[in-house]
Amino acid sequence: NNNNNNNNNNNAGRNSNRGGGGRGGRGRGGGRSRGGGRGGGGSQEKKIKNKDNNNNKDSKSNGDSNQPASVEQNNDNNQQANAQKNYDKTNKPKGKKQQQQQPKNKNRQKGGSGDGGNQHAKKYDKSSQQKHNNNNNEVMAPSVPPSQPQQTSDIHYGRGQTITILHVAEKPSIAQAIAQGLCTNGNRNTRSSKLPVHEFYSSESFPKAPHAASVQHRVTSVAGHVFAIEFGAEYQSWDSVDPAELFTAKTLRKAQQGSVVKHLQVESKSVDFIVLWLDCDREGENICFEVLSICQGLMKSGGGAGETSNYDRVYRAYFSAINPSDIQKAYQKLGKPDRNQALSVDARQELDLKVGVAFSRFQTRYFQGRYGDLDSTVLSYGPCQTPTLGFCVQRHIDIETFKPEPYWTLELAMIKRGRALKAQWDGGRSFNKNKIQKLVDSALETGPVAKVSDVIKKEKKQGRPVPLNTVALLKACSKALGIGPHAAMQTAERLYLSGYLSYPRTESSAYPKSFDIKGMLQQQTTDSRWGSYVQQLLRSGNVTKARGGVDMGDHPPITPCREARVGELSGEMARVYELVVRHCIASVSQDAVWQSTRVNFVIESLGDKGTFTLRGKELVSPGFLTVLLHKEYGDDNDRVATSDDVEDEEEGVIPEYVKGELIPLSAPKSESKVNVATAGSVRGNLNIKERMTTAPGYLTESELIGMMEKYGIGTDASIPTHIENIQKRKYVTLESGRRLIPAKLGLVLVQGYHLIDSSLVLPQVRADIETQCGKIAKGQASMEEVISKAIKLFGEKFDYFVKSIDKMDVLFGASFSKLEEIGKPFTRCGLTRRYLSYIPGPPVRLYNKYTETVYPLPLGGDVKQWTGRHCPVEGCNFELCLYAVGAPPRTFPLCPRCFNDPDYALDMEEIPSDPVDKEDEGKERKIQKMAGRNLCLECPLPDHHPLIDELTVSPDPNSDGVLILDPRLGPKWKINSTREPTIVHLPQQVSKVTVLDRRDEVLGVHMMKIEFKEGESPLPDSNILTCCFPNEERLQNMVRVHHGSERTRAKGGRGRGGRGRGRGRGGRGRGGRR
């Protein structure tokens, strides 16, 4: 880096006469610099040289964080490590200068700019540099918003040549849509690889290199996040690592799939430009820099001395839908990726990992070692998940502590023109029955008559709904369609990927000025359900501006992108699509108009306590209600635009009343009697109604979403995942009416947090962190500072939590059974000769109540008793079990002590995982993986264990494991693979199989003695065959080999060799299953 800085200083000197400016490329003097970036003209040469020399020391220690380290192209073994190293450098947090002058540092090459056009140079160089000199630690937003169209500094790049552009999308389906949108002639080729690659040529100019002769487009994708944040191997053990150490532990980013890294390396080699088409949210911005850490150093060099960065030719597409018109618009207005938003995701991921895992490990180990009937594998804590659970528990507490009270109210019941009507008492309610009774007695003693004091009729408008954002969609789906938020979000994403809806993750509830409302409506004119209404709306010119809402500037509200005819979609996709379309049409329709009637009655003898009101309404103009049946689809908060509550008025027209009209009253009569009124008569009763106060109901999903939004818990994209997680972890159950009812474990956890530190479960702390992450995204806060403060805060809370855990333990002791109190005798301990109790869990384990020792059992299969057999390992002597796993099941011997002995402990790094796109689901998998360290989908003992060795009859040709005789023996004799889901069925003619002590001299496996049934032997003169199984061709021709499946199979993970427990040749696994 010192050399780079010196080269830049020399370049500044050489270019000063040409108007260049040191590290800047396009100076104000009009020439171009080889230094890259923008300079300040030749006159500033000396100042820039001095500034660069002063920064040499910092550059030496920290490097240029904007430049990713070069990727080793020819070393496949190191590709993940190199990609990780590049990501850390590409996405490394920066001080103010690096934040706001990122493109300048990125382009130490001919004509580098990368942060907008020349028109911003003066403002950019002077103002931002001056602020930087005042405070080196201040973080600033870039002077040119990344989403604004920006231009390559060298407008003549690729003149007369063919340039290659690599387009990278977030998912294969989006890559296909982008290729279709950009390839106007339809002549494209698709290569099949790990991820499809669409290639085509275009004679149309590329906006960032308009003088190129032609353009080769290469469109591919990733599959969500390329990297995942996790702890290093030294912090993976739950037993040997103090959870408090995790707060200061270093994290690393590991490639989720090495094949994706290699794919990007191959496709990005020597390309001229990279255009990033990742989802336009914070997660998408984060993936942008993950992709750049792999690809940027492999691009074709743009010239200049010692350069490793090509950021000037990296662009970002900002789009909200994947139809061809939107793709073309985004292609013509390419901006830059937003590093600040990417850093905000890094901050949130690191905080969630450290805080969540530290608390989860501690409380899981503590309570699962004491109680046996906890209905959860992991007692997890999450900065967002736990406050979400807290809302549900608090409502439950409100319900349980609620004490119903009786109250009384007056009701003026009338019969007019054969209709029974009820006017409500304006006095509300009273908790004193005697007081109400006195009012009735007084009214009936002196002139029992009610007088019409006023009749008011006026038109009221019911406001159309505001445009639909993510939270409103989730609430509407739960309330109106009965679709949970997690399923609703997945359905909306599928509709987006299929081109039916715009991007479903948005905070905006107002259409931007550029949104083509009429174009959206025009697409729906032929639909049989609402087409005629839309046609009339367009013809009449009554398309109105949407009401209220806020344009957050991220994405427009959720809208349909194309028509879906009846029957084209099915199931939840059809229902969600219809909800969105009806809502969008309604949002630009006319308001509904109601004729409201209010009749006021007065009983003069009661004074101001004798007023009653009768309300009614009649629909005058349905407006948006024609297409949106608000009781079915609408959101409560969006129904009424006026201050008057139309919804409280009785539906229908009430009879005519005249001011001054008198209604004679009578004493209340028994409800068992029926009053018969003749037409035209008016009569009334003054009744006392007794009612009870009622407790609030349990939170519905819709209400919980609203509370999470109000208190800033999670984002619009992560809210469904948090609600899903508290259900999956059995903290709450989903009951009828989409109500969330806390389970016993959820109640105990939340109440325990309140006993120790209420801030662990209250929303304020998490909301503050979300606010700080938002400031990082806007360039208003430093990532290091936000993480440091949050880690210090939660570290102190964790220390106090550990010291005070006895308070929570009291609640657990009152709600759950201790290990010594549950379980049934299962097998004998080889040390004490006492029976071990079987604890069904989760997790499943054996417990010695005399020594208080716990022996976790393998997860993923079934553990059965195998009475009377003992482990042959010296000093063990534990009674054995059988472990069956897979479909059809393979059965293996299991020794509880040997399975848990450190010499045979499972390697945490080789637990299989299945990375997914959603970051919160990835975190859930990691927590499950680490807690379920005994997940075992193969033989639970190593191949060299005496139990396995004495049953081994052959090496496994398909893995580094071995084949053993099924320990259940006959009558159906089988041979199982220890590492693959393979079963060898011996012929039905076999009556008995014995594994001999004698071994084959070449293979080292045991010989077999096979006895055939009388008269069914394939041997000419004997019923007994002694052989080495892999060498006996006659037997090989008689067996049947079945390749089954494992009950739980994750992609990748351990492969051939298992966990290195083969006969001296396993070692670490070599990738995924074949």
Distance CA 503, CA 556 (A): 8
Contacts of 769 (CB under 8 A, 6+ apart): 348, 351, 383, 786, 790
Contacts of 79 (CB under 8 A, 6+ apart): 71, 72, 255, 258, 261, 262, 265
Contact 996, 978 (CB under 8 A): no
Sheet containing strand 189-191, edge to edge, reads: 189-191, 197-202, 214-221, 162-169, 273-277, 314-316
Distance CA 893, CA 449 (A): 91
Contacts of 490 (CB under 8 A, 6+ apart): none
Of residues 87, 157, 503, 533, which has the active-site annotation?
503
Distance CA 984, CA 965 (A): 9
Distance CA 737, CA 699 (A): 10
Q: Which pair of structure tokens corresponds to residue 197? A: 């690659």
β strands within 672-742, DSSP E = 682-692, 732-735, 739-742
DSSP, res 605: G
197: which strand partners?
A: 191
- Spatial CA neighbour of 971 closest among 986, 991, 996: 991
| Distances in whole angstroms, Cα of residue 671 to Cα of each of 679, 687, 692 | 22, 11, 19
Distance CA 770, CA 896 (A): 45
β strands within 314-398, DSSP E = 314-316
Torsion 190-193-194-200 (CA) sign:
negative
User: Three-class SS of residue 775?
Assistant: helix
Contacts of 247 (CB under 8 A, 6+ apart): 354, 355, 358, 791, 794, 795, 798
List, in sequence order, the alpha helices (H) in 909-1009: 919-931, 946-949
Which amino acid is it at 523?
Answer: Q
Q: What angle do CA 238, 240, 246 make, to 5 degrees?
A: 65
Distance CA 183, CA 165 (A): 13
* Cβ burial 590-605 (10 Å sphere, 16+ → b, else e): bbbbbebbbbbbbbeb
Distance CA 1013, CA 454 (A): 104
Contacts of 24 (CB under 8 A, 6+ apart): 33, 35, 36, 37, 38, 39, 40, 48, 104, 125
Q: Which pair of structure tokens corresponds to residue 658? A: 């005249």
Sheet containing strand 835-839, edge to edge, reads: 824-828, 835-839, 845-848, 853-856
24: which strand partners?
A: 21
Distance CA 590, CA 643 (A): 18
Contacts of 325 (CB under 8 A, 6+ apart): none
Contact 1001, 925 (CB under 8 A): no
Q: Assess whether 838 carries a catalytic annotation.
A: no
CB atoms within 10 A of CB 372: 22
Cα end-to-end distance, the chain, whole Å: 45
Question: Which residues are the active-site residues?
Answer: 503
